Structure 1
Amino acid sequence: MSDMQPVFGCHHVPTASGAFRPDEPIMWLSCDTGIDVTRISVAGEVDLSNAHLLTELVETAVAASAPLVVIELSAVSFFGAYGTNALVLAQRMLTRHGRRLILHRPSPVVRRVLGVTGTLTAFEVVDSPAPPAVDDGWARPVVPTHAGS
């Protein structure tokens, strides 16, 4: 048994050859809280192992006073059922507190999973390059298209 303690968030996993490599995170979250808007960015894979972290971050955003929460999803490469659940919970939580949620530029995989589960139309979605502001009228319910999906 080694006396070395792993650095928090930095673990080593065995490879097929028996060597060890750093275990890379599969999801990255960032949050920028302002007076009017809280912006949450999600990148990587959202699955069973980490979707709860998104829900917890939205809970933190509820504690802030910003009336609008924007979740940037353009860099999401995998999105499972637990990701859908996290967004539905976020929507409910924010609505209960009189806040508004916008999904900003969901990646094709996010859009596909939300469409298949029938939850896409429950969200306001903004596809423009610039993140929305509180009073922007850009957000709209999404109507799923049948072409290419």
Structure 2
Amino acid sequence: MSERLPGFGCHHVPTAAGWFRPDEPILWLSCTVDRDVTHVSVAGEVDLSNAHLLTELLENLVAGRAPTVVVDLSEVTFFGAHGTEALVRARKLLTGRGGRLTLHRPAPIVRRVLDVTGTLAAFEVLDRSARTPADGRHVRSCPLAGRT
């Protein structure tokens, strides 16, 4: 008896009409390490069903060697309370180890949720493009890998 299990993003879920449709991922995470800085890109929806993935990724990075984590939130389309919890937790863990967490270009929905919850002021926020730093040097942007 051989049962082939579908890969991530390849599941088929039933619709109300009884048909099956592909279940596409709603959250994309990518991570690159550049010396002492880890860049995390988040795209799509961060909600109750998947915020634990962001939490786990950030917790693993905190346990690693990178003292600075930059989280690019520019392509987030929905951001729930569990996303806020993931960022707050990672920030506490990093600062407890002498590191820092920076939010890069948070999408308007992310900024709004963090502002309403009173947590925005606790974060360092960079709104300028990674391609044009203040000192004029060229910096590679962090590509969003794994996005289909």
Same fold (TM over 0.5): yes
User: In 1, distance between residues paired with 2:132 and 2:49?
Assistant: 30
1:95 aligns with 2:129: no
SS of the residue 1:73 aligns to = strand
What letter matches 2:92 in structure 1? Answer: R
User: In 2, distance between residues paired with 1:124 and 1:84?
Assistant: 14
Aligned 1:1-149 pairs, distance under 5 A: 4-9=3-8, 10-130=10-130
What letter matches 1:70 in structure 2? Answer: V
Displacement after TM superposition at 1:132 (Å): 9.3
Identity level (%): 65
What letter matches 1:50 in structure 2? Answer: N
**CA gap 1:101/1:132 in 2 versus in 1, 3 angstroms:** farther
SS of the residue 1:28 aligns to = strand
Contact 1:55 1:86 in 2 (8 A): yes
Gaps of 5+ in 2: 134-148
Displacement after TM superposition at 1:17 (Å): 3.1
User: In 1, distance between residues paired with 2:49 and 2:21?
Assistant: 20
Q: Number of matched residues? A: 132
Deviations 1:118-143 (CA, angstroms, capped at 9, x unpaired): 0000000000011798xxxxxxxxxx
Q: What TM-score, normalized to structure 1?
A: 0.82
Q: What TM-score, normalized to structure 2?
A: 0.82
Displacement after TM superposition at 1:8 (Å): 2.5
Point out which structure has higher relative CO (alpha carbons under 8 A, 6+ apart).
Answer: 2
User: In 1, distance between residues paired with 2:15 and 2:66?
Assistant: 45
